Amino acid sequence: MNKTELIEQIAQTSKLTKADAARALNATTDTITNTLSQGGSVQLIGFGSFLVKTRAARTGRNPQTGETIQIAASKVAAFKSSKALKSEVNK
C-alpha cells in the first residue's frame, strides 16, 4: 500500500474527504518526524513505538575497492511493534 492508497483507505474508514484524510496523515507523519528529530519517542498503545536508536561507529569495507573504511556513529529512526500488532499480523 502506498501513501495515496492509505489516504483513500483512511477516507473510506473515517468518512472524511480525501483532502481531510491527507491533511490528517501528513500532520501525523510530520508530528512523528519532528518528535524523533528532537530525540523523543512516540508511543501508540496497541500499535507500537517510534524511537531513535544510536548506531555505534564501526569499521566497514568499500565494496568496489575492498578498502577498509570507518563508518561514523549515527542516529536512526526505529519502530517497535506492540504485542497486539504482532499477534494480529501472525493470525
The predicted-structure confidence for 17-52, as pLDDT tens digits, reads as follows 999 999 999 999 999 999 999 999 999 999 999 999
Is the pTM higher than 0.75? The answer reads yes
At 5, give phi and psi (nearest 5°): -65, -35
Domain count, the chain: 1
Domain that holds residue 61: 3-89
DSSP state of 72: P
Q: Give the domain CATH number at 11.
A: 4.10.520.10
